[in-house]
Chains A and B, each alone.
Chain A
C-alpha cells in the first residue's frame, strides 16, 4: 500500500483565518479524495481531485471555502478558508489509483483542526 503523509498533523486556528493541509503520497495516484470527519461522526466526502483538472465538489461543499490544488500525481493540498468553529474536524486525504483494478482506497493519518 502507498505511504501517505499529511501536514500539519494538528493545528489550532483562530476564526476567520485559513489553513492549508498538505497530502504527500510516495507513488503516483490517479485521484485524490478529501474527506472530513467531524467529532463523533463518520467520514464525509468533500471533493475529488484529478491532476490537471478542476476538483469536483460534493453537495454542501464549495470551491471558495475548500479550494484544492493537485499540481502533480503525488501531491495535493486542501485549504479550509475563512474558518469558523464549525470547521473543527479531522481532514483526511485518500489517494486512489485506477490502474490494475486498484479499487482499494487508503487514507492519510489525518489533520486534526480546532477552530477557536
Chain B
C-alpha cells in the first residue's frame, strides 16, 4: 500500500544549527513533492516544490533534495532560528489531477 513517512518524534535543535527533516515514501511515483510549514491552528503554508527530474532546490535558508531511487526527500533549514519552530509537512502528488497526499508531519523546535 502507499505510504508516506515523516519522523513522528519532534526534532529539537539549537539555534544556528542546520535542521534536517526526512520524508520517505513507498509505492508512489510522484511527479513532484512539496514541503509546507504549519503553525498551530493555521493552514499549511507552501515553502518549496521539487519535481521528479530535479535533485535539489534552494530558497534562502531552505534546501530540498529529492531522490526518486531512494524514494526520499530531505528538507534542510540552515542557520535555524526559534521562529522556524513549527510542524513541517511533506506532500506528494498522486494520481489524476496530481492531488496532494500528506505525510503526518515533523514538529521542529529550535531552542535559543
Contacts and interface: CB of A to CB of B under 8 A. Distances in A.
B19 to A, nearest CB: 19
Contact of B49 (A44, A48, A104, A107): A104
Interface residues of B, number: 24
Secondary structure of the B side of the interface?
Answer: strand
Interface in B76-112: 89, 91, 93, 97-105
Contacts of A107: 36, 43-46
A45 interface: yes
Secondary structure of the A side of the interface?
Answer: loop
A67 interface: no
Interface stretch (A12-20, A68-76, A78-86, A108-116): A108-116
Interface of B: 31-32, 34, 36, 41-46, 49, 51, 89, 91, 93, 97-105
7 contacts: A42-B105, A48-B97, A90-B43, A103-B93, A110-B41, A110-B42, A112-B41
